[in-house]
Amino acid sequence: MLLKRMTLTALLPVFVMALILAFSDMTTTTLILVSFVGALTALMAAWWAQQGLTQQLALAKTHLEPDIAGTAEPTSEGRLRQLLQKSAPIWLGHIGYADTHLTDAVTGLSGLFDQLADRLNHAASLTAVQKGSGGREVVEVIKQSGAELSAAVEALRDTQQGRKEMLVQMRNLETYTSELSKMAADVVSIANKTNLLALNAAIEAARAGDSGRGFSVVADEVRSLSIRSQEIATGMTGKVQTVNSAIEAALAAAQDAAEREERQIASTERCIDEVINQFTDIVGQLEHQSQQLRDDTSAVGDAIAGVIVELQFQDRVSQVLQNIRSNLEELLSMMEDFSESQFANLDVNQWLERMKQRYTMIEQHHIHGGGPQRQQQSSDITFF
């Protein structure tokens, strides 16, 4: 009956497709409708076959239940059926676990290798940037250059301070020249007064006649000295004015030069500050890249460790399959040496207990107990 259902299930879609091909000259709407009817027919046929398979499985279960579920002592065939009925789901669970674990491990390995490749590419690009510095320690060179520029700025400031002190001294010298001019003016005034006094003495000596002739000679000499003193004082005043003018010109030039230097120093200081700030930004970027390199290196190490851990799937799958193989070999050996007495003494629970004792992983015990498969945790990993 099941064979008939499956045959009809396979022939119905073929029959519908033949109808579609036979009426291929129909309109598009008609073809779509016919295709939909064919698909619906195929679905109904599949449902019909599934119902038949369900009935066959229920019938098989009905035939098996009297052999394994009764309270009476089961027969040898019943014991074997009971053994297979209880062992097969466990073996299937173990095989399913092995397949799932294998698939997850391969997927995990692929992801880890992708991450590893990305990290290596990123590290290679950062390494290329650092190699562009000609093999020098760029960070140290930039820091040293910044320190040297700062020292140059300080030297310029010291020079500017020295020029300011020189201007102060020149202003003090201007004060001294002013005092010299005043002293020369006093000498001229004294010479004028002395000349006037000598003139009065000469007049009085002339009035005295011969008795005042000697005094007249003295008066003439005093007048001569007064004139010379006046001439020298006038020359000194001119020289002092010349020196004072030169000092004022030098002071103005020095003041102008100092102002220009101060502006130049301020401009240079701003330029140096900008360069130092740029250097600081570059240093920060390089240090960030260096930190990224260190992080990538650490991530690559973690990825490699993860790959090593994931590679244990082969050992875990091998253990599961080896246990199934051992159980099947034992069962085949029993079936080859089949005897009524041997199967009469077969203890299914003892057989299952021996299976359980061979397990090496927690997942196998969970499957054996009928519980859900527990996802492998990192704490459960053991290097073999």
Same domain, 223 and 272: yes
Domain-embedded: residue 293: no
Task: Report, as an integer, the average pLDDT of 139-155.
Answer: 74
**Residue 228's pLDDT is what?**
81
pLDDT > 50? residue 293: yes
Domain-embedded: residue 292: no
**Residue 34's pLDDT is what?**
42
| b/e per residue 242-252 (b: at least 16 CB within 10 A) | ebbeebeeebe
pLDDT > 50? residue 231: yes
**Does residue 220 contact residue 198 with C-beta atoms inside 8 Å?**
yes
d(CA 84, CA 267): 95
Rounded to a whole number of angstroms, the distance between the first and last alpha carbons of the chain is 53
Same domain, 233 and 147: yes
d(CA 40, CA 376): 43
Domain-embedded: residue 65: no
Domain-embedded: residue 303: no
- Its pTM stands at 0.36
Task: Report, as an integer, the average pLDDT of 360-375.
Answer: 71
**Does residue 76 contact residue 340 with C-beta atoms inside 8 Å?**
yes
CA atoms within 13 A on the CB side of 353: 5
Q: Residue 194 is part of which domain span?
A: 138-287
d(CA 352, CA 369): 10
pLDDT > 70? residue 27: no
> What's the total number of domains in the chain?
3
Residue (of 10, 61, 19) closest to 37 by Cα position: 19
Per-residue pLDDT reduced to its tens digit, 171-204: 777 677 777 778 877 877 887 887 777 777 777 7
**Residue 343's pLDDT is what?**
59
Per-residue pLDDT reduced to its tens digit, 303-342: 777 777 766 666 777 777 777 777 777 777 776 665 555 5
Residue 26 DSSP SS3:
coil
Which pair of tokens denotes residue 366?
A: 């969970």
The lowest-confidence range among 126-140, 164-178, 212-226 is: 126-140
Same domain, 277 and 239: yes
The lowest-confidence range among 153-162, 194-203, 210-219, 293-302 is: 210-219
pLDDT > 50? residue 295: yes
d(CA 51, CA 62): 16
**CA torsion sign, 58 to 59 to 64 to 65?**
positive
Per-residue pLDDT reduced to its tens digit, 35-87: 444 444 444 444 454 444 445 445 544 544 544 444 445 566 666 667 666 77
- In the chain, the percentage of residues whose pLDDT exceeds 90 is 0
